[in-house]
Amino acid sequence: MVAAYDQLRSEGYIDARRGSGAFVANVPPDHLLSARSIAAKPLHPSKNDRQTDLRPPEHRPLPFSPGAVDQDLFPTQLWSRLLDRAWRRHGCNLLNRSDARGHVPLQHAISEHLKIWRAIDCDAEQIFVTSGSAEGLRLVLSSLLDKPDRVFLEDPGYDTFRRVVADQRHEAVCCPVDGEGLDIAEAERRTPNARAAIVTASRHYPLGVTMSLARRLALLDWAKRTGGWIIEDDYDSEYRYAGRPLATLMSLDETERVIYLGSFSKVLFPTLRLGYVVAPQGAVDLFTTALRSIGSSASMVAQPALTEFIESGAFASHIRRMRRVYGRRLVALRQALDTHCQGLLEPAGTDGGMHIVARLSEKLARDTSDIELSRRAHAAGLIAPAISSHAIEHHDVQGLVLGFAAFQECELANGVRCLASVLTKR
Amino acid sequence: MVAAYDQLRSEGYIDARRGSGAFVANVPPDHLLSARSIAAKPLHPSKNDRQTDLRPPEHRPLPFSPGAVDQDLFPTQLWSRLLDRAWRRHGCNLLNRSDARGHVPLQHAISEHLKIWRAIDCDAEQIFVTSGSAEGLRLVLSSLLDKPDRVFLEDPGYDTFRRVVADQRHEAVCCPVDGEGLDIAEAERRTPNARAAIVTASRHYPLGVTMSLARRLALLDWAKRTGGWIIEDDYDSEYRYAGRPLATLMSLDETERVIYLGSFSKVLFPTLRLGYVVAPQGAVDLFTTALRSIGSSASMVAQPALTEFIESGAFASHIRRMRRVYGRRLVALRQALDTHCQGLLEPAGTDGGMHIVARLSEKLARDTSDIELSRRAHAAGLIAPAISSHAIEHHDVQGLVLGFAAFQECELANGVRCLASVLTKR
């Protein structure tokens, strides 16, 4: 401590005076503009204490955290090798931003991935790498709406989007979601002049509903007729356990009114903070200008490694592997719910994603609310968000969101037993 | 191509139909919801072409890019080793977010760094890791201002902040900056009811002015009297080539009205996209709630490596080394300007930072504008932003912003010769 202090003093970085609480008024401005002495307080914690801190705490998400991914099956050895290699080879070229839109090879890799996995035919130039769908939405709204405007949002829906819309002072118009997804005709009847609609067409978040064809065509027609924009959030469609992959609105769109938001949070891991926007060809310049003006939040550190991860085929292998694993976990969770939560929860059918929506039984819903049950589950060490906590106006759907991806089958079974006892406790 | 296609088909991922432009109306919904056949277009570019793309393009910032850092002196080998090691050892614990505020050991490392380098005495709990100062400002405004409000901004000033303020629909009140920095008394006289002031007190961006003691005390007094918030952007104060380090407003503040924004963009590299907010103790809960509600944009990928970089002392060594190098470059740039741009540019004195502000001579300012000269410099392969392009109302300061950090002394001399010929060409 003293040595560090002496070194700093010898380099002219700190003043030798001790105790500095009252020196403001009595010394000339020149002094005041220099940093306060750090000697007044010891530089605790000591080096040894801090060394202990350096190990990341063992962190396991609690069942049934919906956004969590499996921690043991991610190829961390390969990933660390790719990070190391990219930085050893190209490090000096990565330090200064060459293009706000992202690492060019990653743009190419994403556009190839989208062709194969999501049937979206786009050029690399249409891809804008972001730090995730929140930044993506912010970019889209800043680019397309130059003044506060009305934006259709699914209700219930993804809280973060609502927050981004509110942060930019747009008016969030809540649209109910039924078994066919967002009903644009009904939404338009109530609020005729919205400028954008944010939808999770492939699998509604959190309800898991797939938007019907009729609704998709109506939505595309709305955009064409009114000049509105459709912002399609496609957050985990790579995880589909039965049937063919679902088409995206963007691949159906022929009028360049759909903007696609993709993310690596679910298919890789959430702390990666990399996602992307696919802009319609005609909006690329608008998006580029907006992104350059505010700068990108997407770190470059992992972009070259991610590029190699995708191009080498490791990404596709990982998705396929996790799809098998998650598919089994979905079955295990559903079986456990059938066994232990009969008459309490009614799990909705789902053939994809990373969570199940389990509605409260009529009896349970009469006695209590999903928010209360979620609170009690949390007290018992479980994360089971209430559906109605994702809602603004439409609280009629009462149920719990149960993530299964990050948990082994035995953990899911134990979790469900624990949940059942929470639900039956009065 | 055909093999890839066959594999996808065999796995049930794509439909065997070819050509799909007109199939929307004629097939059942079930079909329409499945992905369009990708066979209609070949999967170009071929694998070999893409391999070439994988190498990051050789990227060198053009002189005098103000935000660029030196690309050759960053310890990329050490950095890649730290990345590799952190992920090999702790990878599985890094995938799912444990705390939206950031990697806990990094919070500790930053608070230690601030004690030593910026004389800010804060707990790790007050540190919120962000993807940079734009996200930092967004977090601060979302946490503290619950409705559109007036925000004092320096004019000229940092464009990105203006954009963030505008994006959240606050009213940006432009305050002139003189030789003592932002004049809060004058600002308050014109606009009495602003709720926050964003200032670069240590070194105004872009003018390089250090806020005087009188103005600092007046600003702190304004905050105390009105309940306003001071948002202190301290973007590159580690780079000071003469005298003692400058005190921060936060270290002078005794009423918890100052929020500090720090960044690794200048002291490490801009594409890292890591920065931090230091919240006053009393606002920590408010900030935590806001950050959890919208999620952090800060990637976890580099946070453990950065922690070790700081704790091992490599960060301090890097800053000290770059300070010596940048200090020499500052001298070289000033000498080159004295030699080649006499009577054209009047470089302001500066003892820190990564750029010089060079005002146009009276003669030059009479004949042309800084924006026109910046445009001409760009055409000649130079980046020399016009000061007045950073201004909203106050365009009276005409000059160029010349970054020197990323360029060797000979590059700076060549760049200045080139700039001189741009300035003298009619």
Q: What is the pLDDT of residue B350?
A: 86
Chain-chain contact of B245 with A13 (C-beta, under 8 angstroms): yes
Q: Do B62 and A96 meet the contact criterion of CB atoms below 8 Å apart?
A: no
pLDDT digit string, tens, across residues B303-352: 999 999 999 999 999 999 999 999 999 999 999 999 999 999 999 988 89
Chain-chain contact of B406 with A104 (C-beta, under 8 angstroms): no
Task: Locate the chain B residue with the closest alpha carbon to A165.
Answer: B168
pLDDT digit string, tens, across residues B239-291: 999 877 778 999 999 999 999 999 999 999 999 999 999 999 999 999 999 99
Question: What is the spatial distance between Cα A297 and Cα B132, in angstroms, rounded to a whole number?
Answer: 7
* A286 pLDDT higher than 90: yes
Quote the minimal CA–CA distance from B426 to chain A in Å: 30
Task: Locate the chain B residue with the closest alpha carbon to A79.
Answer: B87
Chain-chain contact of B32 with A163 (C-beta, under 8 angstroms): no
Using CB atoms within 10 A of its CB, is residue B227 exposed (0-12), middle (13-18) or buried (19+)? exposed
Nearest Cα to Cα of residue A181 among A251, A120, A275, A249: A249
Query: Within 13 Å of residue B290, how many CA atoms lie on the same side as its CB?
Result: 24
Query: Within 13 Å of residue B78, how many CA atoms lie on the same side as its CB?
Result: 13
Which candidate from A61, A74, A83 shows the least CB-CB separation from B83?
A: A83
Which candidate from A88, A271, A274 shows the least CB-CB separation from B95?
A: A271
Task: Locate the chain A residue with the closest alpha carbon to B140.
Answer: A167
* A175 pLDDT higher than 90: yes
Chain-chain contact of A34 with B245 (C-beta, under 8 angstroms): yes
Q: What percent of chain A has pLDDT over 70?
A: 86
Chain-chain contact of B298 with A273 (C-beta, under 8 angstroms): yes
Sign of torsion over alpha carbons A140, A142, A143, A144? positive
| Residues 65-104 in A contacting B (C-alpha not used; CB under 8 Å) | 65, 67-69, 71-72, 74, 76-77, 79-81, 83-88, 90-98, 103-104
Q: What is the pLDDT of residue A54?
A: 41
* Tokens linked to A190: 């109530």
Beta strands across the sheet bearing A275-278: A127-130, A275-278, A258-263, A229-233, A196-199, A150-155, A171-178, A181-182
Q: Do A17 and A31 meet the contact criterion of CB atoms below 8 Å apart?
A: no
Which candidate from B67, B93, B294 shows the least CB-CB separation from A56?
A: B93
Q: Do A352 and A241 meet the contact criterion of CB atoms below 8 Å apart?
A: yes
Q: What is the pLDDT of residue B167?
A: 86
Q: What does the pLDDT average to over B22-47?
A: 37
pLDDT digit string, tens, across residues A212-267: 999 999 999 999 999 999 999 999 889 999 877 778 999 999 999 999 999 999 99
Cα dist from B96 to A18, A271, A381, whole Å:
44, 6, 17
Q: What is the pLDDT of residue B57?
A: 52
A125 touches chain B (CB under 8 A): no
Nearest Cα to Cα of residue B80 among A83, A56, A92, A307: A83
Name the residue with higher pLDDT: B294 or B69. B69
Sign of torsion over alpha carbons A71, A76, A79, A83? positive
Task: Locate the chain A residue with the closest alpha carbon to B240.
Answer: A13
Q: What percent of chain B has pLDDT over 90?
A: 77
| Chain B residues close to A167, C-beta within 8 Å | 138, 142, 167-168, 294
Q: Do B14 and B40 meet the contact criterion of CB atoms below 8 Å apart?
A: no
A218 touches chain B (CB under 8 A): no
Q: Do B137 and B144 meet the contact criterion of CB atoms below 8 Å apart?
A: no
pTM: 0.87
Chain-chain contact of B57 with A116 (C-beta, under 8 angstroms): no
Quote the minimal CA–CA distance from B416 to chain A in Å: 22
| Residues 362-381 in B contacting A (C-alpha not used; CB under 8 Å) | none
B274 touches chain A (CB under 8 A): yes
Quote the minimal CA–CA distance from A420 to chain B in Å: 26
Chain-chain contact of A271 with B96 (C-beta, under 8 angstroms): yes
Chain-chain contact of A105 with B53 (C-beta, under 8 angstroms): yes
* B375 pLDDT higher than 90: yes
DSSP A244: S
A327 touches chain B (CB under 8 A): no
Residue carrying the six token digits 């900030």: B287
Q: What is the pLDDT of residue B25?
A: 30
* Tokens linked to A228: 């509105």
Q: What is the pLDDT of residue A57?
A: 52
| Helix, strand, coil % over all residues of chain B, rounded to 5 | 45, 15, 40
Which candidate from A88, A121, A299 shows the least CB-CB separation from B299?
A: A299
Which candidate from A91, A121, A307 shows the least CB-CB separation from B54?
A: A307
Q: Most A CBs within 10 Å: which of B84, B135, B140, as the mutation test of the A interface?
A: B84
DSSP B344: T
| Chain A residues close to B34, C-beta within 8 Å | 243-247
Task: Locate the chain B residue with the closest alpha carbon to A76.
Answer: B91
Q: Do B233 and B200 meet the contact criterion of CB atoms below 8 Å apart?
A: yes
Which is it for strands B171-178 and B150-155: parallel, antiparallel or unpaired? parallel
pLDDT digit string, tens, across residues B91-141: 899 999 988 899 999 999 999 999 999 999 999 999 999 999 999 999 999
Residues 6+ apart with CB under 8 A from A383: A61, A62, A63, A64, A65, A66, A377, A403
Size of interface A-B (CB pairs under 8 A): 336
| Chain A residues close to B4, C-beta within 8 Å | 116
* Tokens linked to A12: 């002219």
Q: Do B132 and A297 meet the contact criterion of CB atoms below 8 Å apart?
A: yes
Which candidate from B105, B247, B294 shows the least CB-CB separation from A163?
A: B294
pLDDT digit string, tens, across residues A353-388: 999 999 999 999 999 999 999 999 999 999 999 999
Quote the minimal CA–CA distance from A426 to chain B in Å: 30
Nearest Cα to Cα of residue A209 among A186, A176, A238: A176
Note the ipTM here.
0.86
B253 touches chain A (CB under 8 A): no
Please report, for chain B, how many H helices and E strands are present, in that order: 16, 11
| Chain A residues close to B117, C-beta within 8 Å | 13
Chain-chain contact of B272 with A65 (C-beta, under 8 angstroms): no
Which candidate from A29, A84, A167 shows the least CB-CB separation from B213?
A: A29
Chain-chain contact of B159 with A38 (C-beta, under 8 angstroms): no
A242 touches chain B (CB under 8 A): no
Chain-chain contact of A299 with B300 (C-beta, under 8 angstroms): no
* B356 pLDDT higher than 50: yes
B167 touches chain A (CB under 8 A): yes
Question: What is the spatial distance between Cα B247 and Cα B117, in angstroms, rounded to a whole number?
Answer: 10
Q: What is the pLDDT of residue A294?
A: 82
Name the residue with higher pLDDT: A105 or A27. A105
Question: What is the spatial distance between Cα B265 and Cα A26, in angstroms, rounded to a whole number?
Answer: 36
Nearest Cα to Cα of residue B412 among B370, B382, B388: B382
Q: Which residues pair with A134 in a beta bridge?
A: none
Nearest Cα to Cα of residue A14 among B16, B325, B247: B247
| Chain A residues close to B94, C-beta within 8 Å | 56, 269, 271
B210 touches chain A (CB under 8 A): yes
For chain A, which domains are there? 1-36+46-74+314-426 (3.90.1150.10), 97-299 (3.40.640.10)
Question: What is the spatial distance between Cα B102 and Cα B86, in angstroms, rounded to a whole number?
Answer: 16
| Chain B residues close to A81, C-beta within 8 Å | 84
Q: Do B390 and B158 meet the contact criterion of CB atoms below 8 Å apart?
A: yes
